[in-house]
Amino acid sequence: MGLQPLEKAKPKYKKGLWSPEEDNKLKNHIVKHGHGCWSSVPIKAGLQRNGKSCRLRWINYLRPGLKRGLFCKQEEETILSLHQMLGNKWSQIAHHLPGRTDNEIKNYWHSYLKKKVTKEMESHEQVHHATSSSSETMDSSSHTVQNLATQGTHNNYNFTNEVACQSSSLPKLLFAEWLTLDHEQCGGNSANSYDESLALKNGFDNQISSFQESATVHDTLSQGLFGGDYHNDSLIHNSASEMYNNSRLKFGTTMEESGFIHCMAGVDFSGNFNMSNDTMYI
DNA sequence: AATCCGTCCAACCGCCTCGGC
DNA sequence: GGCCGAGGCGGTTGGACGGAT
């Protein structure tokens, strides 16, 4: 028996939890020499692990500047809004949360935020269901509003909704609803729709102001709690309106992917841009 | 006290991309 | 252009833990 002639003898790597001794070896090695080529790290550090495992351990646990413990409200909101815009791009989301790892954020999402979002969606659906069953005069375009809203809340946590929730005096506004209202305004379906969309847009402008305040708080937090790492952070440096524009553009992409691009007619994208392979060039 | 069950989180796995040859 | 190795990423797994029964 034994090894097949052509089979490479694979080194036996240790798996499972890391011991404090292993942590020390890895940390000392990287502090002294840097990681360089990860595949050579375990050899040089005297570890029975593979390079990938060392890299993961360093990034997720040993790296300096990691924040441990509970996520604060601000971090939670950042994750929710970024997840709404980016989807499961955990590493990109992690870039906006200094001291947090993609793995940590991913775990937090699956164990807590996902449930929270699902709950919100269900409550939204109940409201929509109640509205549709009580209204017999709903026309086809209103159905589109409903479908879009459901799509929006199903696939992505609603960023604007989260912002609106922070300001109790503002109405909750779904992107899809706002967009469709805009669309209806363009089609000139009714004078009321124009007034409503204006009112809603004004409401959204207020929400942006609200978010700007929130971003300011975030900035302060970032300087205080995160040791100024956020100064290089594009999310924080972007104005709230930029974030809003980006989220709108992303939403447009989502709409296109979902076959709803026809609903985007007449939507003001607040500037010129090109779309290529889901990348926006403004 | 023992067992069951759900949750959390560290770590693994597989896939993809990129760069060097 | 194809191959290979390294690095990076997201999905999944499995063990530890705590609460419920």
pLDDT attached to residue A53 = 92
pLDDT reading at A31 higher than 60:
yes
The strand pairing partners of A280, in sequence order, are A275
Residues lying close to strand B (Cβ under 7 A), chosen from 109-128 of chain A, are 110-112
The strand pairing partners of A276, in sequence order, are A279
The full DSSP string for A184-234 is HHHHT--HHHHHHHHHHHHHHHHHHHHHHHHHHHHHHHHHHHSTTGGGG-H
Beta carbons within 10 angstroms of residue A281's beta carbon = 8
- The whole-number average pLDDT for the span A80-102 is 87
What global pTM score does this model have? 0.52
Give kind and range of the element (H or E) at residue A275. Answer: strand A274-276
In three-state secondary structure terms, A280 is strand
Which strand C bases fall within 7 angstroms of a protein CB? 5-12, 15-16
Beta carbons within 10 angstroms of residue A83's beta carbon = 22
The answer to whether A69 CB sits below 7 Å from nucleic acid chain B is no
Calculate the average pLDDT of chain A: 57
The answer to whether A107 CB sits below 7 Å from nucleic acid chain C is yes
Amino acid at A123: S
Which strand B bases fall within 7 angstroms of a protein CB? 7-14
Amino acid at A54: C
* Rounded CA separation A188/A194 (Å): 8
Question: Nearest nucleotide by C1' from A86 CA?
Answer: C10
* Rounded CA separation A86/A109 (Å): 14
Lowest-confidence range among A96-110, A112-126, A168-182?
A168-182
pLDDT attached to residue A64 = 84
Nearest residue for B10, CA–C1':
A17
Lowest-confidence range among A89-93, A102-106, A212-216?
A212-216
- The whole-number average pLDDT for the span A188-217 is 36
Residues lying close to strand C (Cβ under 7 A), chosen from 77-106 of chain A, are 88-92, 102-103, 106
* Rounded CA separation A263/A148 (Å): 9
pLDDT attached to residue A83 = 87
- The whole-number average pLDDT for the span A251-266 is 33
Let me know: does A107 contact A60? Beta carbons within 8 Å.
Answer: no
In three-state secondary structure terms, A256 is helix
pLDDT attached to residue A175 = 33
pLDDT reading at A63 higher than 70:
yes
- The whole-number average pLDDT for the span A79-108 is 88
**Residue A89 CA distance to nucleotide C16 C1' (Å):** 28
Question: Nearest nucleotide by C1' from A41 CA?
Answer: C6
Top-confidence residue, A210 or A124: A124
pLDDT band at A156 (very low <50, low <70, confident <90, very high): very low
* Rounded CA separation A6/A161 (Å): 59
- Percentages (nearest 5) of helix, strand, coil residues in chain A: 65, 0, 30
